[in-house]
């Protein structure tokens, strides 16, 4: 319920004696209050005068975007424009959308955002079970307390892969209430891996970049030649 609707309800319940008094107390313009009292619906509940889609059709499109995001297949602006054109032609067979329609559509719906899509392997997505993740962190906390492990001795290592000659960070439209957009990686081309490691105290190691090897069964000591930091 918006502020004007609440003000009308207060006036109907006898909290105020007049439209003028209600407007002064609630900050709602008197013209808006008179319009509501005369039965005029709020703008959010009426179709825009020059809108190609009805309010209901836009809600269906927003839900479509959210549903595909939850299936790890977020849509881009081109797909949204195509679906919106099909919906608009249900109202007018020759309807077309201009190049800025998608941008205005996103602006009208505050839950939507544009962003870059991150790709994850299918196995990682299927393994993301909240109850198991919470249980794992609970067990980790128990181990740290039991053995009194200092933050400087707790290290995390992570790996990220970049697909060569191919970008999967496509610009997509997503529902920000659902979280960042993710998609399933194809895994059919060569990758470069990057390893990082950081301790709970904030100490970080130099990242390691691993390219696809040309020599099979290369000894591990050839990967890390002796240095001042690690002579052995």
Helix, strand and coil in the chain, % to nearest 5? 40, 15, 40
Strand partners, 199: 155
The predicted structure's pLDDT at residue 131: 84
The predicted structure's pLDDT at residue 192: 83
Q: Report mean pLDDT in 10-residue bins for the chain, 232 residues.
A: 76 83 84 80 56 87 92 90 93 90 91 84 78 88 93 91 62 82 67 89 88 67 64 62
The predicted structure's pLDDT at residue 223: 64
The predicted structure's pLDDT at residue 46: 53
The tokens 């950081």 sit on which residue? 198
Cα–Cα nearest to 141, from 200, 198, 218: 200
> Quick one: 175 exposed, middle or buried, by C-beta within 10 A (0-12, 13-18, 19+)?
buried
d(CA 30, CA 32): 5
């Amino acid at each position: 319920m918006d502020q004007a609707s609440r003000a009308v309800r207060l006036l109907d319940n006898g909290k105020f004696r007049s439209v003028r008094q209600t407007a002064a107390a609630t900050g709602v313009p008197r013209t808006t209050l008179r319009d509501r009292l005369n039965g005029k619906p709020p703008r959010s509940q009426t179709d825009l005068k020059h809108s190609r889609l009805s309010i209901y059709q836009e809600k269906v499109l927003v839900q479509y975007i959210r549903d595909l995001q939850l299936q790890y297949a977020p849509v881009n602006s081109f797909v949204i424009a195509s679906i919106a054109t099909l919906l608009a032609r249900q109202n007018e067979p020759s309807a077309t959308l201009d190049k800025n329609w998608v941008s205005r559509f996103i602006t009208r719906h505050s839950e939507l955002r544009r962003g870059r899509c991150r790709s994850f392997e299918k196995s990682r997505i299927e393994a993301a079970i909240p109850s198991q993740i919470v249980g794992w962190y609970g067990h980790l906390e128990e181990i740290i307390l039991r053995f009194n492990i200092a933050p400087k001795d707790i290290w995390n290592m992570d790996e990220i892969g970049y697909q060569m000659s191919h970008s999967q960070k496509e610009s997509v439209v997503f529902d920000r209430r659902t979280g960042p957009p993710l998609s399933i990686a194809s895994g059919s081309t060569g990758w470069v891996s990057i390893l990082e490691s950081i301790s709970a105290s904030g100490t970080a190691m130099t990242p390691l970049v691993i390219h696809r090897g040309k020599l099979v069964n290369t000894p591990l000591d050839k990967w890390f030649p002796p240095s001042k930091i690690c002579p052995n």
